[in-house]
Amino acid sequence: MPPGDAACERHRQERPGPESQRLGELGPEGMYEAAERLCRTEGGDGPRGASVAWTVGRIAETLADTRSRDAVRFAADLVGRLLPEEAMPPGEGDRLLRSVAAKLVKAQHLRDIEPLFGELPDGIQGSAVEMRACLLGELALIGSGTGRRSLDAYAEKLGELGHPLARLPRTRLDIEHRFGVRVRGLGSIKTAKQLRSRFPEAPSTDGGAVAGRGAGDARDDGRANAAAQPFRAGGWARETEARFFTLPSPLSPDDFGISFIKELPLRCLASEGSRRGSALACATTPDDVLNELFSASYVGGVNGQGQGGAYARLYAWEGFYALMGLPTGVPLLEAVRRAADHRWLRFMAFTDWFHHDTSDLAFAVLDPTRTRVAVLAATDTDVDRDVLG
């Protein structure tokens, strides 16, 4: 794939092709009967079972895109009950459930989705419950579904049972206003000129360099995994670097810039200057960081796949909490309030880490005490570079 916007490329790939058109000619009932017959006669392990699972999954996605009440019911039944999940590659069952839920919410009338919530779950295990949890998550992102008795009751039950998606509010928060929104001309930032044109640069200072040399490594694997999860779930090509540091004394906000960051022992900055250009950092905002975390798994990497809005939203918030070092029990609106007290930077460098061809992201976060710093760097490319391992 040539350098370009991975999100645009993926949207082109998702347009209906001849296969979907042929399936559509069968009509909802014909598609469902074909899938049911495949599940009944050709299931099982092995290559044939995997082929059947793939075909049934494609039928379910096509049904989800076909506007009718029957298509809603058939798509939900295929992924919630009939699909031979044991024959699917690891992770593909989850991706398919999330994809079908997203397509249903995008293509169908709410009045046709609502009957799926007529029976409350008695546990959170199982594909049928998982798909409905994803439906509620997708509806929340478009501000729909609240005030409907059956949906409200189902959401409340998921909360009682401890489903992870039930942690999220059923309406979009203001800080989430950019989730899933594509703005012409605002694609991936690949050059220093683009970064400077969109964010105010944080100047270098001698005090920042001195403070950076005194920073201590504060390793936290659990926190690092949470920060990296959006990129891992989206299938970004390279391992994300998430690091945490402590300072012996409070850092002046004026010293929180690229001169400070360059003194930290970061893998993404190894061999700084190996490419033409100078490292720089720019001030950014919490909503910018949260949106990039959301997009990482919502769009997916060049060699990965999008995970749907419901889980992309969950992973984004988990990563956001990890960057601020917040316990999961802190309410989301309280996290938004606390985010305003942090300092947020975007930075880039010209090293073997940053490819400047598809997507590079790097953030640094200074906490309100000015003594703790989190750094997150992720890169996504289809260029094979052995230097990164």
pLDDT, tens only, 137-175: 999 999 998 999 999 999 999 999 999 999 999 999 999
Percent of the chain predicted with pLDDT > 90: 66
Q: What confidence score (pLDDT) does residue 192 get?
A: 86
Using the predicted structure, report yes or no on whether residue 134 has a pLDDT greater than 90.
yes
- What would the pLDDT profile of 378-388 be if each residue is shown by its tens digit? 988 765 544 44
3-state secondary structure the chain: CCCCCHHHHHHHHCCCCHHHHHHHHCHHHHHHHHHHHHHHHCCCCHHHHHHHHHHHHHHHHHHHCCCCHHHHHHHHHHHHHHCCHHHCCCCHHHHHHHHHHHHHHHHCCHHHHHHHHCCCCCCCCCHHHHHHHHHHHHHHHCCCCCCCHHHHHHHHHHHHHCCHHHHCCCCCCHHHCCCCCCCCCCCCCCCHHHHHHHCCECCCCHHHHHHHHCCEECCCHHHHHHHHHHHHHHCCCCCCEEEEEECCCCCCHHHCCHHHHCCCCCHHHCCCCCCCCCCEEEECCHHHHHHHHHHHHHHCCCCCCCCCHHHHHHHHHHHHHHHHCCCCCCCHHHHHHHHCCCEEEEEECCCCCCCCCCEEEEEEEECCCCCEEEEEEEEECCCCCHHHC
Which of 52-56, 139-143, 144-148, 346-350 bottoms out in mean pLDDT, i.e. has the lowest? 52-56
| Per-residue confidence (pLDDT) for residue 154, from 0 to 100 | 97
Can you give the pLDDT at residue 356?
76
| pLDDT tens digits for range 261-274 | 999 999 999 876 65
Question: Does the pLDDT at position 7 exceed 50?
Answer: no
Amino acid 182: pLDDT: 76
Q: Does domain 192-388 have CATH number 3.40.1000?
A: yes
pLDDT at 238 over 90: no
Indicate the average pLDDT of the chain. 87
- Domain borders along the chain are 6-173, 192-388
Residues 195-201 have a mean pLDDT of 92
pLDDT tens digit string along 167-183? Answer: 999 999 999 998 988 76
Q: What pLDDT does residue 3 have?
A: 33
Q: Is it the case that residue 44 has pLDDT exceeding 80?
A: no
Of the pLDDT bands very low, low, confident and very high (cuts 50, 70, 90), residue 4 is very low
Q: How confident is the model at residue 43 (pLDDT cuts 50, 70, 90)?
A: low
What pLDDT, on the 0 to 100 scale, is given for residue 88? 77
